[in-house]
Amino acid sequence: MNREASPPTLKTVLQEGTALLQRSGSPSPRLDAELLLAGALKRDRVFLYRESGAAMEKEALERYRGLIGRRQAGEPVAYLLGRKEFWSLDFIVDRRVLIPRPETEVLVEEVIRLFRDTNDGTLSFIDVGTGSGALAVTLARLFPGARVAASDISLEALGIAAANSERHGVRHRIDFFCGDLLDAVKGPFDCIVSNPPYIDAGTYVRLDPGVRDFEPAGALLAGPEGIECHRALAVQAKARLRPGGWLVMEAGEGQGDRIRGLLEACGAYEDIFFRRDYGGRDRVVAARRS
């Protein structure tokens, strides 16, 4: 009498997924496999170990194998799961927005430092090129009395940002504007923050395929030097920052001197400084409006 093979256990499935991702070149095959298996099961990663001997249901197994196949093709885990953590908050993401990076949390840390002694009921922030809304939502939660705005050239991105603001209970406190950089707003603001595109054309073609082939090019590319958005934003911010207000931007590796130069050339900023990320790279530039 023929018997159907027993369904595989979670432990076996996890081992198989890890091996497949390792062979395809994933830099973190075990972690990726765990995250995707937990996502396919709609459980957390602890469940995988607590119930490692449990049988894998057919529908969940098919869902998991589909995710593994897409990850083998290079698709980022965040897009496969539809979410990414930033500042301990869970953000909705898909291919219409850039995936929030841990390095950008350094920008949040710097804003906290700059305004920690200020009554947040008097503050106004704007997140330029908001994408998923990670910076705007995080600042709205950290400064509950502040007025927060967010702008993006993409209406689709703004839809995701609005959904994330709703998800984290700050939709009523963030105003969204569609336009290029600061074109759609007048200000004045106490702080303009941005993680603008800062990849030059030569670097872009050498990016990891998981970034280059899946994340929106418009959120990455910034002309031949990689600082075109910083230059435009520095010029626009002059008219939209209050005197003493801060422009705080993320920057790419090796761009420090050029960004400092363009800020100095504007003739409107002082106290220009850089903050390093935890890898030792200049990551955030801040400049105070004269």
Residue 1 pLDDT > 70, yes or no? no
Domain count of the fold of the chain: 2
Q: Domain for residue 2, yes or no?
A: no
Q: Domain for residue 183, yes or no?
A: yes
* 142 vs 146: CA distance, rounded Å: 9
Q: Are residues 118 and 240 in the same domain?
A: yes
pLDDT 10s digits, 252-269: 988 999 999 999 999 999
pTM tops 0.85: yes
Handedness of CA 195, 110, 247, 148 (dihedral sign): positive
* 208 vs 65: CA distance, rounded Å: 23
Contact (Cβ atoms closer than 8 angstroms) between residue 155 and residue 163: no
Determine what percent of the chain falls in helix, strand and coil, rounding each to the nearest 5: 45, 20, 35
pLDDT 10s digits, 236-254: 999 999 999 999 999 998 8
Q: Domain for residue 78, yes or no?
A: no
Find the CATH number of the domain harbouring 43: 1.10.8.10
Q: Domain for residue 67, yes or no?
A: yes
Find the CATH number of the domain harbouring 216: 3.40.50.150
Q: Are residues 54 and 100 in the same domain?
A: no
* 190 vs 124: CA distance, rounded Å: 5
Give the pLDDT mean for 56-62.
93
Instruction: Give exposure, 263-278, as e/b (b: 16+ Cβ within 10 Å).
Output: beebebbeeeebbebe
What pLDDT band is residue 129 in, cutting at 50, 70 and 90? Answer: very high
pLDDT 10s digits, 172-228: 999 999 999 999 999 899 999 999 999 998 899 999 989 999 999 999 999 888 999
Q: Are residues 278 and 229 in the same domain?
A: yes
Q: Are residues 166 and 45 in the same domain?
A: no
Domain hosting residue 36, numbered range: 10-73
Q: Residue 90's pLDDT is what?
A: 96
Q: Are residues 198 and 160 in the same domain?
A: yes
What pLDDT band is residue 5 in, cutting at 50, 70 and 90? Answer: low
Q: Domain for residue 81, yes or no?
A: no
Q: Domain for residue 258, yes or no?
A: yes
